[in-house]
Structure 1
């Protein structure tokens, strides 16, 4: 796990608490070979079910907030069991100590809470789940396994002050804004671990924040990329292209750029995408499929109907069109140049600070930060 290494302090818990004990009979594991979620039934094919349950793959356990029916994948995955390697990595970031009191946001199957309860004792773990059905199923699974952590059915954005103060808080869904309520419910020096990102991209990075001695802020670096389903209240609704582009794209302002496709897009978890989101606020980008040597990338403003389209072409300069109050490509190009001028920092050089007034990002130095 986590690159092949499982630290000795977590070995007993991972050995004693198998993920399979918290997975439902019907599930949709992600098949790495095909790149899609597949339906698996423990009754119909127990060998295949156990194979996926014991593999280092994410497993969707609910689609479309429970409205989904049938065996085909739904539209939006809304509850899951994360890859074991990611679970370990985040628990390692949490750095729990004997006697720590932990709040988990996003119970899901209950497996993560069970690992914490095994390590710290059930009475030291509180886990919050918004979905009442998911919460009930996790509570049952935890009780059956003999690790009855306290499962609370409520909005995790509000935390659970009745059980605080906490030494550690961990979130198992992606956030676009870290609630200050979590800081308020933590002890000075407490650690908060949460997947965080911007609407620019669906990917996240794990933020590891430490609560200040005065309790007025929490700050810390990102430890690396991940991708989680988003907290329901912070999901981004799908962009409707026709609401932005109402006429012929070619009629809009046209220019070109020397930035290449590889430089601007990179791989799925390339740090430049994360950096772009930190600088290009209130914007989402969509990378289209490549055809005949051309790949369009669209930028959509989230506070108005500004848009931009850059078409990368093999062996030629990319062409750009943009429209609206914001010149989104100009902003994007400026953000990319900023990232390169900073020495193309990776995730670990970026950090996040959360206060009662909002959140801000930084590179290398928390004192030199900007709102995000």
Structure 2
């Protein structure tokens, strides 16, 4: 089957760009993205970094172009509390970029006869693609935390004649009733690999998920193979960025008590390390910040800008700790002013991690990997699991 217009153009672009594997072409043509989108959508403009509203009832042609553009499309803001046509504050459900969807399905390596658990139903399009690929065997279970989103996705799948079980629940818990699974795919970013995902995936099975740290908002797609001892290990494939599991969102309010009367008793120093070296001011999905998050665990950081200046803040996330650090980059200054407070020297850890990464030749995200177990323990490694990355204090 072949289609024209924006829908056919999207399939052509995905094939030519290498995101759409040959075995998925027929499925993408048979399961259109637009069949799972609501009348009102907010496509993301990659150039401006902003979302705009498009209403099919007002401009059907514009809606069709947006539905089949290779951009993420927000379908819910603010956990459903948003009202009005304009964008809300925080996007909380979406249809991912088609090239990202196609690439993840290619990496999942799913075949007819398998059982697949999807975490993060969203519009239901991804579950529909999986159901079509499995040939209507009923091997797809998809879990969605938001009841209204789950209801819409279930209805869209029924209209499309596609068989997938839609469960409303916390994807952190997986869905034990359908286990064991051959494949688990998450379409929400995670900061700690849920034990249930490993427990519900059979040995030899694959967990594919956007994983990252609270150091930044970016993720990297990790492909873990579950082993007989209950652990799972595998490489990071490439940078991505997803909305986070609701249970693992970062509450920035937790750091209000870290910094009292500023700067208080903080130690001061200066640094020649630049914002550019730290990965700031580039695209958020650049590798530097992600790698620093791998090397400096339990650390959140944020960049505040004021006029021509900027301040990087670092906060210790460990229970009971109020350690923090800041680096103030002043206009015209060749060195930044550093302040550190608490027993954990966060700035020192970050700069040691940066130096180590640079000494290795700044290896990309794809050379790192992860080994995890059901207790929450994890080990990050470079090239293979025989080469763990150094501890933050090393």
Corresponding position: 1:261 with 2:275: yes
Q: What SS does the corresponding residue of 2:114 show, helix, strand or coil?
A: coil
Structure 1 residue aligned with 2:224? 209
Q: What SS does the corresponding residue of 1:265 show, helix, strand or coil?
A: coil
Q: What TM-score do you get using the length of structure 2 for normalisation? A: 0.89
Q: What TM-score do you get using the length of structure 1 for normalisation? A: 0.94
Q: What SS does the corresponding residue of 2:335 show, helix, strand or coil?
A: strand
CA distance in 2, matches of 1:290, 1:302: 25
2:167 pairs, out of 147, 152, 155, with 152
CA distance in 1, matches of 2:199, 2:256: 43
Q: What SS does the corresponding residue of 1:100 show, helix, strand or coil?
A: coil
How far is the alpha carbon of 1:290 from its aligned partner? Answer: 6.5
> In the alignment, is the contact (CA less than 8 A) between 2:94 and 2:123 conserved in 1?
yes
Corresponding position: 1:72 with 2:90: no
Corresponding position: 1:364 with 2:390: no
Structure 1 residue aligned with 2:76? 62
CA distance in 1, matches of 2:305, 2:103: 32
Q: How many residues align?
A: 370
Structure 2 residue aligned with 1:174? 189
1:182-205 deviations in whole A, cap 9, x for unaligned?
122122211110000000001100
Corresponding position: 1:47 with 2:61: yes
Structure 2 residue aligned with 1:270? 286
Aligned residue runs from structure 1 range 345-364, under 5 A: 345-358=363-376, 359-364=378-383
Gap runs ≥5 in structure 1: none
Pair 240,165 (structure 1): closer, same or farther in 2 beyond 3 Å: closer
CA RMSD of aligned residues (A): 2.0
CA distance in 1, matches of 2:263, 2:279: 22
Structure 1 residue aligned with 2:298? 282
> In the alignment, is the contact (CA less than 8 A) between 2:241 and 2:285 conserved in 1?
no
> In the alignment, is the contact (CA less than 8 A) between 1:2 and 1:86 conserved in 2?
no
> In the alignment, is the contact (CA less than 8 A) between 1:2 and 1:88 conserved in 2?
no
How far is the alpha carbon of 1:251 from its aligned partner? Answer: 6.6
1:102 pairs, out of 116, 123, 129, with 116
Structure 1 residue aligned with 2:153? 138
CA distance in 1, matches of 2:296, 2:277: 16
Corresponding position: 1:311 with 2:328: yes
How far is the alpha carbon of 1:350 from its aligned partner? Answer: 0.8
Structure 1 residue aligned with 2:6? none
CA distance in 2, matches of 1:250, 1:336: 27
Q: What SS does the corresponding residue of 2:277 show, helix, strand or coil?
A: helix
CA distance in 2, matches of 1:96, 1:49: 31
1:33-64 deviations in whole A, cap 9, x for unaligned?
32111112111121211111110111111112
Aligned residue runs from structure 1 range 25-44, under 5 A: 25-44=39-58
| Larger deviation, residues 326-335 vs 83-92 | 326-335
1:227-262 deviations in whole A, cap 9, x for unaligned?
100001110012477533332338732211122221
> In the alignment, is the contact (CA less than 8 A) between 1:107 and 1:129 conserved in 2?
yes
CA distance in 1, matches of 2:230, 2:328: 45
Structure 2 residue aligned with 1:326? 344
Structure 1 residue aligned with 2:362? 344
> In the alignment, is the contact (CA less than 8 A) between 1:183 and 1:215 conserved in 2?
no
Corresponding position: 1:4 with 2:17: yes
CA distance in 2, matches of 1:248, 1:207: 39
Structure 1 residue aligned with 2:353? 335
| Larger deviation, residues 306-315 vs 167-176 | 306-315
CA distance in 2, matches of 1:241, 1:180: 27
Structure 1 residue aligned with 2:3? none
Q: What SS does the corresponding residue of 2:340 show, helix, strand or coil?
A: strand
Gap runs ≥5 in structure 2: 1-13
1:120 pairs, out of 119, 129, 134, with 134
